[in-house]
């Protein structure tokens, strides 16, 4: 079972990856359209809000769904990190970040229930 620290660490990782000035600037530069730039800004805001909401709540570790989502989030975070290191495909990065933020939001909601 995932513990509260693992859950919160996974949620924080996607936020930190997007919030890092160098990463955000590099991602923003790779965005080709206004829609991609809007999506990136929105992902950062969602990741931030999700992290702070999760940090403010008491997370529990007694839910198998939370465990599964935590594992998925850690895997996606690793993929995001790999994409950030290379930055060849902004669409792939944005899609992975979208998936990670959705998983983080789901975790914050379920783990605090």
Average pLDDT over residues 38-58: 86
> Mean per-residue pLDDT for 54-65?
65
pLDDT score recorded for residue 13: 92
CA distance 47 to 95: 14
Domain range for 55 is 4-111
State the residue for tokens 């930055």. Answer: 87
Question: Cα(82)–Cα(74) distance, rounded to whole angstroms?
Answer: 13
For residues 15-27, average pLDDT:
91
Whole-number Å distance between alpha carbons of 13 and 20? 10
What is the total count of domains within the chain?
A: 1
Q: Which residues contact 14 (CB under 8 A, 6 or more apart)?
A: 47, 73, 76, 77, 80, 97, 100, 101, 104
Determine the pLDDT at residue 112.
60
């Amino acid at each position: 079972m995932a513990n509260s620290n693992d859950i919160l660490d996974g949620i924080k990782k996607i936020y930190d990856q997007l919030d890092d000035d160098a990463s955000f600037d590099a991602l923003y530069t790779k965005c080709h359209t206004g829609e991609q730039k809007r999506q990136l800004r929105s992902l950062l805001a969602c990741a931030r809000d999700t992290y702070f909401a999760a940090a403010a709540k008491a997370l529990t570790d007694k839910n198998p769904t939370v465990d599964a989502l935590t594992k998925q989030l850690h895997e996606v975070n690793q993929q995001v990190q790999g994409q950030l290191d290379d930055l060849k495909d902004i669409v792939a990065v944005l899609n992975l970040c979208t998936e990670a933020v959705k998983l983080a939001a789901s975790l914050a909601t379920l783990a605090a229930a």
